[in-house]
Chains A and B, each alone.
Chain A
């Protein structure tokens, strides 16, 4: 310790002008009422408030809650429910699952047998090629949704292809993208994945104009930001879909939106997605399951039921910073989908918090003590 004043930022994402965390923490746990009066020895020895906060964080904290996936309560515990449940399992695994696999296979055959020829044969006629490829991507996504018996209700006006607009949505699983894609062929910005998903990303999704990034590369940010700007300017490109949370959250909370999507100088159209947990919990806990397992879990459940709301497009208000804009849009989405907001950066899932948070607390304490020292 002993560095006076020079504070390095470990990640440029965590800016100082982010919303105040104390506004979000439950009132019981926030800093105790401002102590006043002369400074006494007691004030230095009594560290109980800070210690209580530390212990409070160990007992329960709002960040871990965002990624908690509660296993469904078992209901098959007695004589007549158990056979019913067994019957259900048999139907799901032996009837529905094979049927769904069949549907998906047919879908892939149709898709690949149309996509590959179109992609190569219509190389010269870009406009037509793009149109057909868009349509085909929408088709394969519909097949995916059918393979989970997806019941998706879309509310609001359908997205239109116009320049200078981006779509932002809350993120629960990679299937969010598929659900939105079956209605409109979006270009999406995604983390590059390994395995078969990565293969799909580099071949088919390239054709709708997707942009890739790598979370772990810091330099990546500028390159990606440039790609975003270029894409948005192009009149012919598919509308861009961004998940500003940056990570999958459990559909009860929203974490901080990254401001990248909000400083492109265009209209932001919020999209809210809410899954009905009774049928299946669609939250993809990427630390616990691979995407393949997640898909298999969906395909052996009864249905995926969700609501999608296309909300009113928003623009940056005069005098509003991109961060305030992001918060405002997050508010709109959270209210519509019935999600609670938490003030944490989703990337804290992958890295430790920067010292800045602790420094703010320290600063508050130091200011308060020094001020009281003056009061004689």
Chain B
């Protein structure tokens, strides 16, 4: 059972992006997924949720574990404890996009930077990193290269697109956006590309 102290601690850990009700709800969900009541969710437990398992990106979601090391969610040997669980999901909190007082981006990206515009407001230079998912930058060098994008495209399209088609698509859009084949995409590039229309990445936590 969660005490008020526990809730507040978790809330602080996720930068107040969830309300206390939502944290209680998430705790119930955590207990449901943590079937053996061990206090952490083993990585492959996520695969027992059919809706998650059938998501094309389920394999490549990363998470910042301890010591700032990014690991694939499904390969985390120590599993996810409740604080990590909430931190992971806080990237999707609706509050993250309606916080109007602090104009900041949430950097939600794994090893790459995917800037998330809040409410179509202007891009602010304050970058507010949080611990959460990563998808890009599979060769872990801090920049997103052509190859990295190809990898993600491959996960999203599976066997339904040949390698040539993927290359074709990538070169087409890259040229259109003004990048060359050997360009790397950094933080600023992401900002520019994902631009002013913002990203909609909210998940609602069911509160009884």
Binding site for B on A (CB under 8 A): 1-5, 7, 25, 28, 38-64, 68, 287, 344, 348, 352-353, 357-359, 361-363, 365-367, 369-370, 373
Contacts and interface: CB of A to CB of B under 8 A. Distances in A.
Given A50-B56, A61-B51, 19 more contacts: A4-B162, A38-B176, A45-B149, A51-B61, A52-B202, A55-B88, A55-B89, A56-B92, A64-B32, A287-B35, A348-B50, A353-B53, A358-B53, A358-B56, A359-B159, A366-B156, A366-B161, A369-B169, A370-B161
B199 A363 contact: no
**Which one of A3, A38, A60 has the highest number of Cβ atoms from chain B below 10 Å of its Cβ?**
A60
Given A39-B172, A41-B179, A58-B49, A48 B201 contact: yes
A7 B160 CA distance: 11
A41 B176 CA distance: 8
Contacts of A344: 50
Contact of A41 (B89, B160, B193): B193
Contacts of B135: 47, 51
A287 B48 CA distance: 14
B203 A39 contact: no
User: Interface SS of chain A: helix, strand, loop or mixed?
Assistant: helix
Q: Interface centre among B47, B57, B157, by most A CB within 10 Å?
A: B157
A243 B105 CA distance: 52
Contacts of A357: 50, 53-54
B10 interface: no
Interface of B: 26, 29, 32-33, 35, 46-58, 61, 88-89, 91-92, 114, 133, 135-136, 149, 152-154, 156-162, 165, 168-170, 172-174, 176-177, 179, 185, 190, 193-195, 199-206
Contacts of A57: 49, 51-52, 55
A54 B55 contact: yes
Contacts of A2: 159
Nearest to A43: B173
A72 B29 CA distance: 17
B89 A359 contact: no
A362 B52 CA distance: 14
30 contacts: A1-B158, A1-B159, A4-B159, A7-B159, A38-B176, A40-B176, A41-B173, A42-B193, A45-B185, A47-B152, A47-B156, A50-B56, A52-B203, A54-B55, A54-B57, A54-B58, A55-B92, A56-B204, A58-B52, A59-B206, A60-B206, A64-B32, A361-B55, A362-B56, A365-B156, A366-B156, A366-B161, A369-B161, A370-B161, A370-B169
B47 A352 contact: yes
A44 B177 CA distance: 12
Contact of B158 (A39, A52, A63, A363): A363
Given A41-B193, A365-B156, A366-B158, A64 B49 contact: yes
Given A41-B177, A44-B169, A366-B158, A353 B199 contact: no
Given A41-B176, A373-B168, A366 B157 contact: yes
Nearest to B161: A366
A52 B156 contact: no
B32 A363 contact: no
A1 B193 CA distance: 29
Of residues A58, A344, A357, A362, which shows the largest number of chain B Cβ atoms within 10 Å of its Cβ? A58
Contacts of B204: 28, 56, 59
A23 B105 CA distance: 34
Contact of B56 (A39, A41, A55, A361): A361
Per CB-CB distance, the 3 closest pairs between chain A and chain B, nearest first, are A362-B158, A357-B54, A57-B51
A59 B202 CA distance: 11
A2 to B, nearest CB: 8
A52 B161 contact: no
B100 to A, nearest CB: 20
